[in-house]
Amino acid sequence: MGVLTLFFLFFIKVSLALQFCEDLCSSIGPGVRFPFGLDSDGCSYPGFNLSCNEKGLTILNLPLSGNFIVQHIDYQAQEIRIRDPGNCFAKRLLHKLSLQGSPFVRVFNRAFSFLNCSSNFSTSAPLPRPARLINCLSNNDFTVVAMPVSSEGDLPSIPSCTVMKEIVDVPVFWPRYPEGESSLIWTTPDCVGCEQNGGTCGFKDSGSLEIECFNLPSTDRVLPRSAKYGIIIGVGIPALLCMIGLGSYLCSRLRNYSRSHPSSTEVNTTFANPPSISISGLDGPTIESYPKILLGESRRLPKPNDNTCPICLSEYQPKETLRTIPECNHYFHADCIDEWLKMNATCPLCRNSPDISYISANPSSLLSASPSSLSSGT
* pLDDT at 304 (0 to 100): 65
Q: Where are the domains of the chain?
A: 17-105+172-218, 109-170, 284-343
Classify residue 47 by burial, with Cβ atoms within 10 Å: 0-12, 13-18, 19+.
middle
d(CA 320, CA 376): 10
Q: What are phi and psi of 6, to 5 degrees?
A: -60, -40
Positions in the chain whose pLDDT score sits under 50:
1, 3-20, 220-221, 263-279, 357-378
**H helix intervals, 132-236:** 192-196, 225-231
* pLDDT at 73 (0 to 100): 95
* pLDDT at 226 (0 to 100): 65
Q: By C-alpha distance, which of 160, 134, 135, 138 is closest to 147?
A: 134
With a CB cutoff of 8 Å and minimum separation 6, the contacts of 50 are 32, 36, 37, 38, 44, 58, 59, 60, 70
* pLDDT at 225 (0 to 100): 62
Q: What are phi and psi of 365, to 5 degrees?
A: -70, -25
Classify domain 284-343 at the CATH topology level.
Herpes Virus-1 (3.30.40)
* pLDDT at 363 (0 to 100): 46
* pLDDT at 268 (0 to 100): 45
* pLDDT at 41 (0 to 100): 63
Q: By C-alpha distance, which of 53, 5, 45 is closest to 25?
A: 53
Residue 123: C-alpha distances to residues 19, 117, 118, 120, 135 (Å): 54, 10, 11, 9, 11
Q: By C-alpha distance, which of 229, 247, 248 is closest to 237?
A: 229
d(CA 311, CA 340): 9
